[in-house]
Amino acid sequence: MLREPPHMPAFEVPPFIPARGLRSPHAQTIFANFARPTWMPPVIRESWDTPDGDVLEVLHLPAPPDAPHALLLHGLESRADAGYMATTLRTLGDAGIGVFSLAFRSCGSAPNRLPRSYHAGDTDDALYAIGRIRARVRGPLVAVGFSLGGSVLLNLLARTGDAAPLVAAAVVSAPFDLVPCVEVLDRGEGWMRLYRERFLLRLKRKAREKERCFPGLLDLDAVLAARTLRRFDELVTAPLHGFDSAQHYYESSSAGPRLAQIARPVLIINADDDPIVPGATIPSTLRTLPFLTPVLTAHGGHVAFVEGTPLRPRFWFEPLVTRFLLQHVAP
């Protein structure tokens, strides 16, 4: 049985004003991908062996054991040191929050050891990481997930309910229903085709490496011939992670139907013009669920939200996420 929501303090959200010349969703998305600075403060690079014999890589920004600590979860085929991960890590660190930025299996500096990797509904590694963090720190734990990492985080919070090991969380540009998000990527031309081909290029490169390490694991010719993400998921993601098909994977891993089970405060940031998570796929129930604080903007693209000007960009969601989390870890 889920507990009653706590008193949710008022949370003021400044309007998002797209940077001049970057109003379109593709301009936002592509500019942000290149413009967010990737420099890191001094971090500790760690490798964690998982219970099943694999390895996770982590970037750790230390803080005192009693301070709040955050786990960061990146998006599809991204990295622990991607621009949005780096800017969020720095902003949280400046606020006195320790950070563990997790690279999902196969997204670190070297291939992972097992045939499996990661997917939008896989919460085991995030839960394992939280357990490792809790063994080292005493302060409250929070988490931030981006895109696919946001899906992982929402699924984790929903599945653990009132026993969730976090006091609060935030997600940015998370998908709620994987089927239409994959469909919009697979059908689209122009910029959408660029996004699709970029994902497929990276995914196929890893599939080739998997087949080299585990001969006979995949029908590599069919994988390399795949022209859609659904086809790739049918041939690789689903069978390697125990799903009957790509459709089974999408239906089992979509967080939208489980949102009512969440029992921790969560900030949800999405743009209506997101080219990968279309506004039409955002559940209408977000504003009715007591633990959720949705921030839905007209513009902002996918994990972008760039204000200011192209020469002097300002990144909007990082301070918003930090302020929300600080509200819920204050003594």
Question: pLDDT 10s per residue in the chain (331 long)?
Answer: 445 555 567 789 999 999 999 999 999 999 999 999 999 999 999 999 999 999 999 999 999 999 999 999 999 999 999 999 999 999 999 999 999 999 999 999 989 999 999 999 999 999 999 999 999 999 999 999 999 999 999 999 999 999 999 999 999 999 999 999 999 999 989 999 999 999 999 999 999 999 999 999 999 999 999 999 999 999 999 999 999 999 999 999 999 999 999 999 999 999 999 999 999 999 999 999 999 999 999 999 999 999 999 999 999 999 999 999 999 997 6
By the 8 A CB rule, do 35 and 83 touch? yes
Indicate which residue of 78, 147, 173, 253 is catalytic.
Answer: 147
Question: Considering the domain boundaries, does residue 224 fall inside one?
Answer: no
Total number of domains in the chain: 1
The answer to whether 302 is a known catalytic residue is yes
CA angle 291, 296, 298 (to 5 degrees): 175
Residue 301 lies in a domain: yes
**Is residue 167 domain-resident?**
yes
221 in a domain, yes or no? no
The strand pairing partners of 297, in sequence order, are: 271
- Which tokens in the block code for residue 219? 């029908």
CATH code: domain of residue 262: 3.40.50.1820
Asked if the structure places residue 230 within a domain, the reply is no
Active site residue 117: no
Sheet holding 168-172, edge to edge: 44-49, 55-61, 98-103, 69-73, 141-146, 168-172, 266-271, 292-297
Residue 214 falls within a domain, yes or no? no
Find the distance separating the first CA and the last CA of the chain, reported in whole Å: 26
Please give the C-alpha separations between residue 52 and each of 57, 112, 212, in angstroms, as whole numbers.
15, 12, 21
Catalytic residue among 74, 106, 274, 299: 274
CA-CA distance, 237 to 161, in Å (whole number)?
A: 27
Residue 231 lies inside a defined structural domain of this protein = no
- Look at residue 241 and tell me if it is in a domain: no
Single out the catalytic residue among 69, 119, 302, 328: 302
Q: Is 147 a catalytic residue?
A: yes
* Range(s) of the domain holding residue 278: 25-177+254-329
